[in-house]
Structure 1
Amino acid sequence: MDVDGCCPHYECQCICYGWGDPHYVTFDGTYYGFQGNCSYWLVKEILPKYNFSVMIDNYYCGEPDGLSCPQSITVFYESYKIFIIQKDINGIFTNQISVNDKRVSPAYQNGDFRIVTTGIDTVLVIPKIHAKITFSGLIFGIYLPYNGFAGNTEGQCGTCDNNRTDDCMLPSGKIDPSCPHMAHEWHVNNSNCEPVPPKPTPPPNPCDKSMCEIIKSSVFEACHKIVDYGPFVVACEFDVCHMHINHIGCISLQTYADVCAESGVCIDWRSATKGLCEYKCESPKVYQACGPQVEPTCDSWYNQKFIYMADAFSAMTSMELEGCSCPNGTILLSSNSNECVPSCELCRLPDGKYKQANATWTEGCKQCICEEDVLQVACHPLPCPAQPSLSCDQEGQIKVTDTTGCCPKEKCGK
């Protein structure tokens, strides 16, 4: 709506994303490729209004062509520094998050922002300024409202003003004819930048671009009219021809699927890649193409805070995304566990493990049961069998008590 609230008009929201080695689409939709091993400003405010900025750290990942990839992303907001990095732990990619240099585990929320993860994507939302930042290793997305940031952004994501002619603006304010050249100029002060490598040369042999055709196929048809797939096809073809990695095209498909999902169209696309883009979840969790950003658990307080409470945080994390979750018929035990259980009717044990309601077990010299009505553990001493009468009537014998085991036992001793 206009300022006076009388007339509506259309605005393109400020959406910038990058992926692969890396490819960028600016807030106004300009696509460009960029190589650089350094820390760069993706977004800064020209005139400080919200104390908001986003920085990305790249590293060289595509020898011998000198290609670079995103490694971590840092969001600055008011007095917060939110750092997200993805690490490969035993073949499982895990996003690690810290707030003001202190590790936190998602879902995490304070009065100003919320961080959730699907096991693949990490999502940060700041309701007060309606900002959303997503990160999944080689992919990032920045979603800002036009009415809060129009004409007031600079950096590798360009100026959000619905005008592509000024997308390649340098820190000096001048417009560079080359966005890749502009992108290098947004390196963070004091960051260790290596020299720009030579541009990759086309491979001598034709490369297989068939995976990239999936983006244009009926698999993504529901999203074609909502999000232009052109840049993702171009990026996919570049990657499969230069990075010499079988599954590198998956990154462009995943990015297009992420952007579609954020627009409300969730697509099960990995099944169309003949296993090449299959995602491996940490057992016992399984891959889910379209699932909740916050998985329900057996902790009722957690569910109430992150799922059932209708507020600005839940409104910004309601879109379905791909991720890893417990198999059908089971539920996640708690947010900080990776245990899927068939029921939440469980008793919690001191060692952190759980028992089903009515389960019985022996613990030391006690018989324990998980009481169904209160879900509490009750333990009682093991019953001891009656002992036969013992007569120690030989010379030098006396009765002694053997305390080996749980039940005392009398025997004859000397």
Structure 2
Amino acid sequence: SVNSIRRTSPTGGTSGLCFKKLNITTSSYRIIINRLDRKVTVNYRPARLPFSRHSLYVEDTGSMYLIHTPGGVSMQWYHSTGIMVLQYITRYNASVPTRGLCGCCDGNPEDDLKLPNGTVVREVGDMMLFLQAWRVHTTDETEHTRRVGDNCTTGDCSTCLSMLRQRAFTPCHSKVPPEQFCDIMWAGDLHYKDHQCDFLAAYVAVCYTHQVCISWRRHNFCPLRCPPGKEYQPCVSTCTSRTCLNREYYEETTCSFIREECVCRSGTILHRADSPYCVTEDRCVCTDNEGNPRAPGEVWNGSARSCCLYKCMENGSVVAVEPDCNSVPTPLCEREGEYVLDVLEEGACCPKKICECNMTICDSEAPPCDNGNRLVIGYSALSCCPEYRCECDPMACPPVSAPDCREDQFLVEVRGQKSCCYSYL
């Protein structure tokens, strides 16, 4: 079964059905292949590829997943485009029955639309019944409906024909006639009318199965966005990628079909078959605990919350090393009362040196304040030690009543020595 999702295209719109997961279930194994995350589980446990058991084979070549099943089905599932090519191995067809959307591989086209209960759908109008009968329900389903029965006779295929009659697609017309492809794929499928790049990619994929090279994408027309370090290349024929592991004995192998691909840029190779990184060969020497490539002499922290330093050696070994903290800069603490303090932050290997205030080495003491004064604490930009002073607090003075003065007198307000409180004369 195939789980699919809709993803956002680089141009901001919605691209077509993007195959995310493939579920291969046999009597003994349940294999889940996650193309986007490049992870494979066998019976719900992470598995390393290649996997081979009882005629069931799964390999990651770096460019695609190669899958062979006991039922004689061979699949090529491309990493860059998500396109899946299915083939039947001839020697299996006569002995291993198939059902479902693949039909019955017995040479008789009349019984291909067979329901799980054995009933054969005869009418075109009952096609949706056939599709629903073989539907596998998942938690992340995406609805994709095709109006069965529509063709270019009843529908408008002018846009489709106009696209496929462009010069870039001419070499394939003798193998895949535009009229036939539009009649089968375009007329009844609303998805392709809304996502024309997906339609053209499907046409080119069929052309590639006939070994017809079509170079059709441009930077401003249906571009295939490649991850960092990779570039788009049409008509790739090799099955396996050159990696750090096979670089000494790598030999190009020709695949059954050509394809379009995101390949490593010139001067770089794939780090691992199941890795997205393209690296220069000097970075093939070591691999850290998270699968990242490391060059000789490179030092890294293998822990997110503590200090576990490792170093890549010339011979490919990885050794633990002690941190060199001599190069940690020491700040110049110029303010009075400051000293250098080492602070070890989470995940750091060397302590960070900062200027911290030490109140115990400050000389100033708080003076006693009386007679209506209050203690005020201030700080200077040149010192981290507090500065104390006594300031008058009128609210602390006792209330004083003003005397009544004669007409030839006036009121005088005076403050006593060592006091901030006023009295009247």
Measured against the shorter chain, the TM-score band is 0.5 to 0.7
Instruction: Give, in whole Å, the separation in 1 of the partners of 2:166 and 2:279.
Output: 39
d(CA) in 1 for partners of 2:188, 2:196:
6
- Greater RCO (CA < 8 Å, at least 6 residues apart): 1
Label 1:216 to 1:80 Cα distance change in 2 as closer, same or farther (>3 A).
Answer: farther
* Structure 1 match to 2:294: 354
Find the counterpart in structure 2 of residue 83 from structure 1: 32
Give the SS at the match of 1:114: strand
Q: 1:60, CA displacement in angstroms?
A: 9.0
Can you list the C-alpha shifts for 1:95-133, whole angstroms capped at 9, x where unaligned?
Answer: 65433323446x6343541333666x544234x765312
Letter in 2 for 1:98: T
Amino acid at match of 1:285: K
For residues 102 and 72 of structure 2, the distance between their equivalents in structure 1, rounded to whole angstroms, comes to 18
Q: 2:112 aligns with which of 167, 172, 178?
A: 167
Counterparts in 2 of 1:334 and 1:134: CA distance versus 1, 3 Å: closer
SS of residue matched to 2:127: helix
Out of 251, 260, 264, the position equivalent to 2:211 is: 264
CA distance in 2, matches of 1:344, 1:327: 15
Aligned to 1:144: 88
Do structure 1's residue 98 and structure 2's residue 34 form an aligned pair? no
Deviations 1:295-330 (A, max 9, x none): 111213x875xx549xxxx78x56432222210122
Percent of pairs identical after alignment?
A: 20
SS at match of 1:254: helix
Check conservation: 2:145, 2:189, Cα contact below 8 A. no
Quote how far apart the aligned CAs of 1:285 are.
1.5
Q: Is the 8 A contact 1:296 1:303 kept in 2?
A: no
The answer on whether the counterparts of 2:121 and 2:130 sit within 8 Å (CA) in structure 1 is no
Decide whether aligned partners of structure 1 residues 350 and 175 sit closer, same or farther in structure 2, where only a CA change above 3 A counts: closer
Find the partner of 1:298 among 222, 241, 244: 244
Residues 140, 340 of structure 1: alpha-carbon distance in 2 compared, 3 angstrom cutoff:
closer
Matches within 5 A, 1:206-355: 210=159, 213-227=162-176, 230=179, 232-234=181-183, 237-238=186-187, 245=194, 248-271=195-218, 275-291=220-236, 292-300=238-246, 308=251, 317=255, 319-344=257-282, 347-348=285-286, 353-355=293-295
Counterpart amino acid of residue 279 in structure 1 = L
- Contact 2:294-2:312 within 8 A present in 1 as well: no
Contact kept in structure 1, 2:6 and 2:142, CA below 8 Å: no
Q: Is the 8 A contact 1:108 1:114 kept in 2?
A: yes
Asked whether the 8 Å contact 2:235–2:260 carries over to 1, the reply is yes
Against the structure 1 CA distance between its residues 194 and 213, is the aligned structure 2 distance closer, same or farther, given a 3 Å change threshold? closer
Q: Out of 50, 56, 68, which is 1:125 matched to? A: 68
Change (3 A) 1:176 1:220: same
Structure 1, 75-84 or 324-333: larger mean CA deviation = 75-84
CA distance in 2, matches of 1:369, 1:59: 40
Q: Which residue number in structure 2 is paired with residue 37 of structure 1?
A: none
Change (3 A) 1:123 1:343: same
Letter in 1 for 2:120: K
Question: What is the deviation of 1:279?
Answer: 1.0
Deviation at 1:283, TM superposition (A): 0.5
Residue type at the aligned position of 1:155: G
Deviation, 1:78, is 5.0
- In 2, distance between residues paired with 1:370 and 1:227? 55
**Secondary structure of residue in 2 paired with 1:296:** coil
Closer/same/farther in 2, CA of residues 336 and 68 from structure 1, 3 Å limit? closer
Gaps of 5+ in 1: 1-54, 62-66, 88-93, 385-404, 406-414
TM value normalised by structure 1: 0.53
Contact kept in structure 1, 2:58 and 2:65, CA below 8 Å: no
Deviation digits for residues 175-217 of structure 1, max 9, x if unmatched?
Answer: 42226235335335877899998969x9xxx999646644344
**Gap regions ≥5 residues in structure 2:** 8-15, 302-310, 327-349, 351-425
Alignment-mate amino acid for residue 176 of structure 1? R
- Secondary structure at the residue paired with 1:289? strand
Secondary structure at the aligned position of 1:219 is classed as helix
- C-alpha offsets along residues 208-230 of structure 1, whole Å, 9 cap, x if unaligned? 96466443444344444445555
After superposition, the Cα gap between the structure-2 partners of 1:168 and 1:230, relative to the gap in structure 1 and judged at 3 Å, is: farther
In 1: Cα distance, 2:312 partner to 2:22 partner: 49
Q: Against the structure 1 CA distance between its residues 169 and 342, is the aligned structure 2 distance closer, same or farther, given a 3 Å change threshold?
A: same
**Against the structure 1 CA distance between its residues 353 and 334, is the aligned structure 2 distance closer, same or farther, given a 3 Å change threshold?**
same
Tell me if 1:176 matches 2:117.
no
Superposition map of 1:170-209 within 5 A: 170-171=115-116, 172-178=118-124, 180-187=127-134
Offset at residue 337 of structure 1 (A): 3.7
Alpha-carbon contact 2:231-2:264 (below 8 Å) kept? yes
Q: Following TM superposition, by how much is the alpha carbon of 1:288 offset from its aligned partner in structure 2, in angstroms? A: 1.9
Greater C-alpha radius of gyration = 2
One-letter amino acid of the structure 1 residue matched with residue 113 of structure 2: C
Counterpart of 1:102, as a letter, is: R
8 Å CA contact 1:268, 1:289 repeated in 2: yes
- RMSD (CA atoms): 5.1
| Partner SS, residue 199 of structure 2 | helix
Question: Residue 99 of structure 2 aligns to which amino acid in structure 1?
Answer: E
- Letter of the 1:164 partner, please give it: P
